[in-house]
Structure 1
Amino acid sequence: MTLSCLSGNVVAALLRLGYEDDPRLWRAVGWLLEIQNADGGWLCPYWKAHVRDKHGCFFGTICSLEALAEIPPARRTPALEKAAARGAEFLLRHHLYKADHHGFRTIKAGWLKLGFPWFYRYDILRGLWVLTKLGYQDERMADALALLREKRTPNGKWALEVTPFGRMQASLEPEGRPSKWITLYALWVLRGVHKSRLRNRLGP
């Protein structure tokens, strides 16, 4: 595999399926660490579209960072922790969806639309979920969290705003309707944020 997004997704899936002791998985993890970009994000070094790029790709970054987030804390080496911290800082530096060198304008409007399954796609919910899973509670997540809360419908759920047309035999849920998957991940994020704030308030 020579794509960071594909490799990250495969590693994350294998970890969820219980393959954390397979040496082939750890070779893939090692490769992800080797190709991490100088800015903390990830690119696809063997893909022609990225040959001249220097700025990390959000798609490659979120998939690779999600893979690192799936590694049990007890198995995270200092090198893994450092790579995860650099990847998280890449997202935080952009407030999850803003251009850090252009007045913090929205990079892509599509990243504000919540979709599932994610595949290689990036959006604010996936970014928030991965950062929360890694234990982050940072003020630079505030704008994305506010957008997520605004999208909550009066019945307490979140709608599926975009679907991966053409990439599946059938859609998991109808677009524009309340989504079990989006609601699950949104509540997971908000619960994690609440628990983190409670810990900070009460102390150790």
Structure 2
Amino acid sequence: MTVIDWLLDSDPSIRWQVMRDLTHEQPDVIAAERSRVATAGWGARLLTLQAPDGQWGGRPWSHDWTDTFHVLEVLRRLGLDPESEQARRAVGLVREHVTWRDGAPVETPWADNRFFEGEVEPCINGNVVATGSYFGVDMGPLVDRLLGEQLPDGGWNCEVENGATVSSFGTTINVLEGLLEHERATGGPAEVTEARRRGEAYLLERRLFRRKSTGEVIDPGWLQFSFPHWYHYDVLRGLDHLRAAGATPDEHVAEAIRVVEGNRDPDGRWPLQHVHAGEAHVQMEDGDGRPSRWNTLRAMRVLDWFAERG
């Protein structure tokens, strides 16, 4: 069995992305496979777990992965068709019912905000923008807030309220993904595109994993790849964002590409290297150290992007 055959012997959410990004099937073939995300496999399973009040896990957000925020993120990454009846129903329930007060252990100033109005942390709000934009929600006000929170070095940091003055990779990647989805949904307001590119420059100036000042590796954990990665940053996530954004790869990503190549197993697959602790509704991989279809798919399309555009 080839690596492509192995990838295709899987869930519809992986199959349709393989068809789009690796085997380049016809659009109607890709769309037909993508439509199955709502009716089979992981996507269908997650959709059945939504409560009548629009929530998953009884909360808008939690430190596990069973809540509304994280399930919607997974559905987005699975590629649930936002035009499908199932997506419209699920997102409609969230828009109608879910606030940040629901199930919250403490009172917060943003408790009465509707889910897609977001809260105060840019790392969370970036993800909310990505999910809302993907599923057709007007995220303009929250995008405006994020643009106003961009730091002089080009990125974002959730710890500004605690005194941080420079950006973090983790917050920045979440905001960048949100801005890109907003551009796709709206046609790309110039100020949003400009802010996104400044944020991407922040990552590129640091070769996606090194300190700008000393060149040392910021966090060795970023060289190991996970999926779902949730709000965590790693090199593969950064590269996959740049690919999705249509960036032209150059010497700033060359070392990160070598990291991806170095993580490939002799059989041509990539392992799951880090499972982030916490409960989840579905298990999509076999565990740490085992071959990972998600990592293999993402690594292969990143390497194709580098080979074709670099």
1:95 to 1:113, Cα distance in 2 relative to 1, 3 A: same
Alignment partner of 1:96: what SS?
A: coil
With a CA cutoff of 8 Å and minimum separation of 6, indicate the structure with the bigger relative contact order: 1
2:239 aligned with 1:128? yes
Structure 2 segments unaligned to the other structure (5+ residues): 1-118
Structure 1 Cα separation of the partners of residues 178 and 268 of structure 2: 30
- Name the amino acid aligned to 2:133: L
1:77 aligned to 189, 212, 217, which one? 189
Structure 1 position 126, deviation (Å): 0.4
Q: Residues 45, 106 of structure 1: CA spacing in aligned structure 2 closer, same or farther, 3 A cutoff? A: closer
Of 121, 128, 134, the match for 1:3? 121
2:235 counterpart of 1:117: no
Tell me the equivalent position of 1:65: 176
Q: Which residue of 2 aligns with 1:201?
A: none
Candidates 20, 30, 33, aligned match of 2:144: 30
Aligned residue number for residue 180 of structure 1: 293
- The change in CA–CA distance for 1:73 and 1:81 in structure 2 (over 3 A counts) is farther
Aligned residue for 1:202? none
C-alpha deviations, 1:82-101, integer Å up to 9, x for none? Answer: 10110011001110000110
Is 2:217 aligned against 1:106? yes
Give the CA deviation at 1:169: 4.9
Structure 1 SS opposite 2:158: coil
% same residue: 34
**Offset at residue 14 of structure 1 (A):** 2.4
Output the amino acid matched with 2:234.
D
Alignment of 1:190 with 2:308, yes or no, is no
User: Larger Rg: 1 or 2?
Assistant: 2
**Structure 2 CA distance for aligned equivalents of residues 158 and 89 of structure 1:** 27
1:93/1:167 CA distance change after superposition, 3 Å? farther
Q: Normalising by structure 1, report the TM-score.
A: 0.86
The 8 Å contact of residues 94 and 100 in structure 1, kept in 2 or not, is answered as yes
Q: Which runs of 4+ in 1 moved over 4 A?
A: none
The offset of 1:44, in angstroms, is 2.0
Measure, in 1, the Cα distance between the counterparts of 2:263 and 2:158: 32
Partner of residue 268, structure 2: 156
Equivalents in 2 of 1:15, 1:138: separation in Å? 29
Task: Report the AA paired with residue 37 of structure 1.
Answer: L
The answer on whether the counterparts of 2:133 and 2:185 sit within 8 Å (CA) in structure 1 is no
2-structure distance, mates of 1:14, 1:121: 20
Q: C-alpha displacement at 1:151, in angstroms?
A: 0.8
Unaligned runs of 5+ in 1: 198-204
State the shift of 1:180 in Å: 0.9
Structure 2 residue corresponding to 1:145, chosen from 252, 257, 264: 257
TM-score (norm 2): 0.58
Using the TM superposition, give the Cα deviation of residue 113 of structure 1 relative to its aligned residue in structure 2, in angstroms: 0.8
Secondary structure of 1:38's partner?
coil
CA RMSD, 1 decimal: 1.7
The residue number in structure 2 matching 1:16 is 134
Structure 1 residue 194: Cα displacement = 2.3
1:89 and 2:207 aligned: no
Shift of the alpha carbon at 1:141? 0.5
